[in-house]
């Protein structure tokens, strides 16, 4: 069977690749200027990060708090053909006192061929909060 990747799925895949290689210029080019990332929980990494620059700063903080060890392993990318894409992944990181490995996912809204909203979900919010701490 031949697999034809939908353009929205391809865009999200490019985003993951840019994130994973630290190519923030490419990642920024895939987002609207008012893009928002919503992170679950009550930790220092939780909240609503509004605007492309704030979203990218949030990603930079992921790397800073884990001494560059934060990484994601994509498991699947699923478009609906109407401007939404779900992705599932496993994320890994080492903190100051321990490591973490957790399943998670992102729900993307695309407008005009760019990412405008990202809702993040994690398998265990309490464990994620404990890892990230309150700062």
CATH (domain of 33): 3.10.450.50
According to the model, what pLDDT value does residue 68 have? 94
Each residue of 69-114: pLDDT tens digit?
A: 999 999 999 999 999 999 999 999 998 788 999 999 999 999 999 9
Residue 115: domain span: 7-132
C-alpha–C-alpha distance, residues 56 and 24, integer Å: 7
Asked whether the beta carbons of 117 and 35 are under 8 A apart, the reply is yes
According to the model, what pLDDT value does residue 55 have? 98
According to the model, what pLDDT value does residue 135 have? 66
- Residue 1: inside a domain, yes or no? no
Categorize the per-residue pLDDT at 2 as very low, low, confident or very high, splitting at 50, 70 and 90.
Answer: low
- Residue 104: inside a domain, yes or no? yes
C-alpha–C-alpha distance, residues 41 and 128, integer Å: 8
- Residue 54: inside a domain, yes or no? yes
Each residue of 20-44: pLDDT tens digit?
A: 999 999 999 999 999 999 999 999 9
Q: How far is CA 73 from the centre of its chain?
A: 11
- Residue 47: inside a domain, yes or no? yes
According to the model, what pLDDT value does residue 134 have? 83
Strands annotated E in the chain: 31-39, 47-50, 71-79, 84-94, 99-111, 114-122
According to the model, what pLDDT value does residue 95 have? 82
């Amino acid at each position: 069977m031949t697999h034809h990747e939908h353009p929205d799925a391809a865009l999200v895949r490019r985003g993951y690749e840019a994130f994973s290689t630290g190519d923030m210029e490419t990642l920024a080019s895939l987002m609207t200027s008012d893009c928002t990332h919503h992170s679950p929980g009550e930790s220092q990494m939780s909240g609503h990060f509004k605007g492309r620059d704030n979203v990218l700063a949030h990603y930079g903080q992921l790397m800073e708090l884990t001494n560059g060890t934060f990484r994601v392993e994509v498991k699947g990318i699923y478009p609906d053909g109407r401007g939404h894409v779900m992705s599932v992944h496993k994320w890994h990181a080492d903190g100051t006192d321990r490591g973490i490995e957790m399943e998670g996912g992102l729900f993307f809204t695309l407008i005009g061929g760019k990412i405008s909203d990202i809702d993040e979900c994690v398998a265990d919010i309490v464990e994620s909060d404990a890892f990230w701490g309150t700062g």
